[in-house]
Structure 1
Amino acid sequence: MSDAFGYTPLDARARERSEALKGPRACKDALWAAVFLAHLALVAALAAMHVPELIAAARDGLHDPGANATLEPQMQAALTHSAELAWPYLLVGLGVAFVWSIAWIGIVQAFAESLIYIALIATPAVFLALTLWPGNPSPVATGVFFIVTMFYACWIVLTQRNRVEFARLTLATVAGVIRTHPGMWIVSLLSMVPAVAWQLAWLMTAGATFFHFRAHGERFSYVDSRTGESREGVSIGALGVITLVFLLLSTYWTSQVISNVVHVTNSGVLATWYFRQRSRLPRPTVHALGRALSTSFGSICLGSLLVALVQLLHDMAESARQNSAEGGLVSSIVWCCVVCFIGYLEALIALFNHWAFTQVAIYGKDFKTAARHTWHLVEARGLSGLVNMNLTSNAVGLGVLLGGVLSAALVAGLAHDRLLVAPTSKPGVSEDVQGVYAAAYALTIAAAAVCAVACTTTISSAVTSGVTTLFVCWAEDPAALLASNPPLHASFEHISSGFLRDHPPRHGPGPDGRADVENPRPLPAQQYQAPTVAVGTPVGQQPPPPNVPVAHAVPASQAGP
């Protein structure tokens, strides 16, 4: 039950949250779940119609002696041998990536603050190195990025110490929760299976569909404006264009759904830990995954569709920008501005959805309600949330970079002699064969780095989801952590009190304890003069700020930086 301002009172929200975390509830946005499943059925129908045609054409080509040029026997042997040598090193790279990803969670927990500062320094350092690199084609652009990132790092270090402390505590806390609930990173890792399977199936379907419309399209002649030569083309027709656009939207939508199911699952586990530490549910990851795939699935489909539509629009604008290069300078500038604007809009919607899905996971809201409440939270603590996410995401991103470098370096060292030196040092080996082994060596290193980046990114997504959820939970209801984990609540409150002393809130709390952004009411500054409390002091001995109820010694909306 909501009040006149669209908020739900704290006790009602607690009951709503408790019911949502415990188990089955009414399905939200079920229509959009049905639309998503129907769209998958349509993609499957396209695959059933067109993939057999592509396979038959490929089979006919294999049996056509004139359709294939036979490679030299030495080249064929080199290709086969290099592939046999490369596979073990790919498995080594994948194993290193997995071990590093798990170890990185522990490193984050132990050195959260150091990683935040290293990440702040590393970004401008990279841009500075690129600016000074003689081979850089655009040193001015990288120099601008260096200046911007350097100013941002200085602003954080010199004026935002409390935000850094809050980011450190959230990062270390979430890493500890993930180590306690390994199901979070297991779900993230297993999500790669449907993601890869979907991409392979989609590539086959899209390729077969394009082949079908091209094979049955109308041929036409045109003059190349750059060379003046006459060329022939094939029109796939309006139906072909619509079908391919639909398939492009499909890959974006499905990929978003898979990643957001993982995000909602991990957010649900973190919320269960936050609100129900004294009455823990058995197998919280299984319960959270079940809710994400059932009662919250429609909301996930709706929010994912919004991002997918903007991604599709971005691609269409980018295609128009490339085609406008022949239309003059003004046209190119206009389309560049359009592409930049759509890209900015895409990033904002993706970030907003990330927060909204946290509301879906915690309270089981439909997407529209979650978006409205997320907007209230963004208005109240938007800058703090963005800074917190930026600091923690950069720190986690270090693990992705280090994982890729570590895996690539190890595979490069192990495979150098056997895959590159030994096969090419034999007498009588041609330059073409040497090129085959060199290419196999380079591709093996690149594949190991890609595997490490993908694995570390996937597992680190559990950290990102957890940080967002912990920020939302603390900003909305810090008293819940007081009831479930008093020592941790004392640490958070100590940091938050310092933040409130340095950055007094502009508006008073709303009817439910959160910021009343629609009807701001200035409060006396002394109301937020929080006492100095040492970390670890028993919570019952901590005096609340003047004029603030004990249950909300730090106002819910102002609780975290």
Structure 2
Amino acid sequence: MSQITPISECKSVEDEVLVVMTVCNEKEGPSMGEACKPGKNDADGCPQHLPQNGWKDTWALFAFLLTVGMTVGWGMTLPIEDEISQSLQGISNLLDCHGLGGVKAAELYFGVGVGIPCAGISAMLSLLLLQALPSAAIVLSTFLFSAVLLMSSAVAFYKSITPTGVTLAVLGLLYPCWLYFVRSRIAFSANLLATASFLTQQIPLLFLIPAMLTLPFLGYMMWSLLVLHASVKRGQYNDCFWTNYIFGLTSIFSIFWAANVVLGLSHVTTAGVVAKWYFAGSENMPARPTWASFQRAITTSFGSVCFGSLLCTLVGAFGWVCGLGIHSGNEFIDCSIACIQDLFVDFFNYCNSYAYVEVAMHGRGYMTSARRVWRLCQNCGCSAVFNDALVLTTLRVMTVSIPILAGVGVALFSFSATIGSIVCVLTVIPLTCVLSVVSAVVRSIFVCFAEIPEGLEASFPELHAALMATDYGFASIHNQEKDDTPV
């Protein structure tokens, strides 16, 4: 399939880009040659589309390590052993008094035994469905979401909550109308969704990276919470009041920062694998591409991930603090302000996810990647928003509906709502992880295609033709980018 010569294990995506440039020049294609002329340099002085090697944003890396180190080091000076023993004793007393909420041991074991295989089957069927019928999945998910909104509106009217009922009814009716007006975008999003589902099946190790990062994060979170509790107790009974509270706040901040770092590492790892696949093709993928991408994420790109995660944490904290101060006395005004704050936080996180793709694809610093995202928004921002709206609605509806269907089916079969609930919970966790990887793959392919469509033409000509045929705006965008100077 691919006309690219096989490549060996490499430390960045640079080899694939250079090979694609060679192939395009051999084809006498002017677009790639013009886009990568020596005179076309980006903000860091490197040729456009060529990634930079070396460590980036090291100050953010050291700041993150310092914050985590402060929490760990301060915890070693506190009686953490007493906190652990007291916590375990409290959990034991709670279980002795209330048990498992009336859940029988047999129901628990049966639910776990059925839920684990159900989770694997649901995840695999979801990927197969998205690969085989992506357009149908997009349309059905939109109408299903609209139906849920209309039913919720009916419930609100029944309970005499008129403003909520009207809002939900309007949203429920707008979704099918919106789908009608963007129907020309469905085919493009369906191609990306099917390709992402296929790629995630070909590289299942992408699912293990989030799980591998989650385990140490959970351990660190438990340690930080114990440090926080011990610091608060210690601050109440000695003179080091401010010292203990400062370290307590540091432990809280480090938890959220570490959580965003875990998400960022997963996203950068996935985007790096997708970029390698995009330029090299399936037949020429190097050995262990996931591990190679993960190594770059935790070394040269780790500072950029820490920088982006720090900004996400600060924006989230700012929104939370502002939310505490909303007390105008008018519920409508308070709700509107809270909605605007949530939209701002979501918009920042949305742009940050694209910046992570640029970090993985080019190996540049975070600010340079953010400037490239801004240029991407200027050129094809509407295409990205429409694509994400269609894809994310589909994935979110599947994340909720499939576990519910599995839980209801098991509950009817076993005549036990408890077993059905256990199966539903065990199904939704891995399914969320799988579909979040699919979402990251879709965005990564979109960015690669928006910046270097010739790379896909060299590695997957059929997919390139399908995407160009279903997205009518990309031809003009790429022609314009040839004359644009980098940000």
Quote how far apart the aligned CAs of 1:111 are. 1.1
Quote how far apart the aligned CAs of 1:116 are. 0.6
Q: 1:316-363, CA deviations, whole angstroms, 9 ceiling, x for partnerless residues?
A: 233334xx4xxx626x77765553333222111100100000000100
Q: 2:199: which partner in 1?
A: 177
Quote how far apart the aligned CAs of 1:484 are. 1.1
Long gaps (5+) in structure 2: 1-35
Q: 1:54: which partner in 2?
A: 83
The letter for the 2-side match of 1:12 is P
- 1:86 equivalent to 2:91? Answer no
Q: Is the 8 A contact 2:71 2:247 kept in 1?
A: no
Q: Is the 8 A contact 1:53 1:212 kept in 2?
A: no
Measured on the aligned residues, the alpha-carbon RMSD in Å equals 3.6
User: 1: CA distance between counterparts of 2:112 and 2:122?
Assistant: 15
User: 2: CA distance between counterparts of 1:27 and 1:239?
Assistant: 34
Q: 2:382: which partner in 1?
A: 383
Q: 1:259: which partner in 2?
A: 263
Q: 1:492: which partner in 2?
A: 467
The letter for the 2-side match of 1:374 is V
Q: 1:421: which partner in 2?
A: none
Quote how far apart the aligned CAs of 1:47 are. 2.9
Q: Is the 8 A contact 2:130 2:197 kept in 1?
A: yes
Quote how far apart the aligned CAs of 1:149 are. 4.7
Q: 1:523: which partner in 2?
A: none
- 1:32 equivalent to 2:60? Answer yes
User: 2: CA distance between counterparts of 1:357 and 1:300?
Assistant: 7
Q: Is the 8 A contact 1:51 1:204 kept in 2?
A: yes
The partner residue of 2:170 within 133, 137, 147 is 147
User: 2: CA distance between counterparts of 1:108 and 1:370?
Assistant: 30
Q: 1:120: which partner in 2?
A: 142
Quote how far apart the aligned CAs of 1:446 are. 4.4
User: 1: CA distance between counterparts of 2:178 and 2:167?
Assistant: 17
Long gaps (5+) in structure 1: 63-67, 219-235, 418-440, 519-561
The partner residue of 1:98 within 115, 120, 123 is 120
Q: 2:397: which partner in 1?
A: 398
Higher relative contact order (CA 8 A, sep 6+): 2
User: 1: CA distance between counterparts of 2:89 and 2:470?
Assistant: 70
- Going from structure 1 to structure 2, the CA distance change for 1:333 and 1:413 (only over 3 Å counts) comes to closer
Q: 1:318: which partner in 2?
A: 323
User: 1: CA distance between counterparts of 2:150 and 2:350?
Assistant: 28
Quote how far apart the aligned CAs of 1:370 are. 0.2
- 1:282 equivalent to 2:287? Answer yes
Q: 1:64-106, CA deviations, whole angstroms, 9 ceiling, x for partnerless residues?
A: xxxx89979xx87x98983465244234323322331132111
Q: 1:498-519, CA deviations, whole angstroms, 9 ceiling, x for partnerless residues?
A: x579xx77x9614x456x799x
- 1:472 equivalent to 2:472? Answer no
Quote how far apart the aligned CAs of 1:151 are. 2.2
The letter for the 2-side match of 1:248 is I
- Going from structure 1 to structure 2, the CA distance change for 1:56 and 1:380 (only over 3 Å counts) comes to same
- Going from structure 1 to structure 2, the CA distance change for 1:413 and 1:251 (only over 3 Å counts) comes to farther
User: 2: CA distance between counterparts of 1:149 and 1:383?
Assistant: 22
User: 2: CA distance between counterparts of 1:202 and 1:168?
Assistant: 43
> TM-score normalised to the size of structure 2?
0.81
Q: 1:353-397, CA deviations, whole angstroms, 9 ceiling, x for partnerless residues?
A: 000000001000110100011111011111210110111111112
User: 1: CA distance between counterparts of 2:150 and 2:260?
Assistant: 34
- Going from structure 1 to structure 2, the CA distance change for 1:84 and 1:152 (only over 3 Å counts) comes to closer
Quote how far apart the aligned CAs of 1:256 are. 0.8
Q: Is the 8 A contact 1:127 1:142 kept in 2?
A: no
User: 2: CA distance between counterparts of 1:147 and 1:116?
Assistant: 21
- Going from structure 1 to structure 2, the CA distance change for 1:137 and 1:369 (only over 3 Å counts) comes to farther
The 5 A counterparts of 1:350-365 are 350-365=349-364
Q: 1:226: which partner in 2?
A: none
Q: State how many pairs are aligned.
A: 448
User: 2: CA distance between counterparts of 1:71 and 1:476?
Assistant: 60
Q: 1:456: which partner in 2?
A: 431
Q: Is the 8 A contact 1:401 1:453 kept in 2?
A: yes
Q: 1:201: which partner in 2?
A: 223
Q: 1:260-294, CA deviations, whole angstroms, 9 ceiling, x for partnerless residues?
A: 11111111111111111164222111111111111
The letter for the 1-side match of 2:195 is T
User: 2: CA distance between counterparts of 1:92 and 1:28?
Assistant: 46
Q: Is the 8 A contact 2:141 2:398 kept in 1?
A: no
For the residue of structure 1 that corresponds to 2:325, the secondary structure is: helix
User: 2: CA distance between counterparts of 1:3 and 1:253?
Assistant: 39
**More helix by percentage:** 2
Quote how far apart the aligned CAs of 1:243 are. 3.5
Identical columns (%): 22
- Going from structure 1 to structure 2, the CA distance change for 1:47 and 1:154 (only over 3 Å counts) comes to same
Q: Is the 8 A contact 1:54 1:211 kept in 2?
A: no
User: 1: CA distance between counterparts of 2:441 and 2:132?
Assistant: 17
User: 1: CA distance between counterparts of 2:135 and 2:172?
Assistant: 19
The 5 A counterparts of 1:400-479 are 400-410=399-409, 412-413=411-412, 416=415, 442=418, 445-479=420-454
Q: Is the 8 A contact 1:263 1:465 kept in 2?
A: yes
The partner residue of 2:72 within 44, 47, 59 is 44
- Going from structure 1 to structure 2, the CA distance change for 1:199 and 1:153 (only over 3 Å counts) comes to farther
Q: 1:246: which partner in 2?
A: 250
- 1:110 equivalent to 2:132? Answer yes
Q: 1:390-434, CA deviations, whole angstroms, 9 ceiling, x for partnerless residues?
A: 1111111222113321343355346656xxxxxxxxxxxxxxxxx
For the residue of structure 2 that corresponds to 1:294, the secondary structure is: coil
Quote how far apart the aligned CAs of 1:488 are. 1.4
Q: 1:481: which partner in 2?
A: 456
User: 1: CA distance between counterparts of 2:433 and 2:310?
Assistant: 21
The letter for the 1-side match of 2:56 is K
User: 2: CA distance between counterparts of 1:329 and 1:70?
Assistant: 42
The letter for the 2-side match of 1:268 is G
User: 1: CA distance between counterparts of 2:442 and 2:177?
Assistant: 23
Quote how far apart the aligned CAs of 1:41 are. 1.3
The partner residue of 2:314 within 295, 309, 312 is 309
* Runs of 4+, deviation exceeding 6 Å: 1-5, 58-62, 68-72, 78-81
Q: Is the 8 A contact 1:360 1:370 kept in 2?
A: yes
Q: Is the 8 A contact 2:79 2:230 kept in 1?
A: yes
Q: Is the 8 A contact 1:94 1:452 kept in 2?
A: yes
> TM-score normalised to the size of structure 1?
0.71
The letter for the 1-side match of 2:65 is L
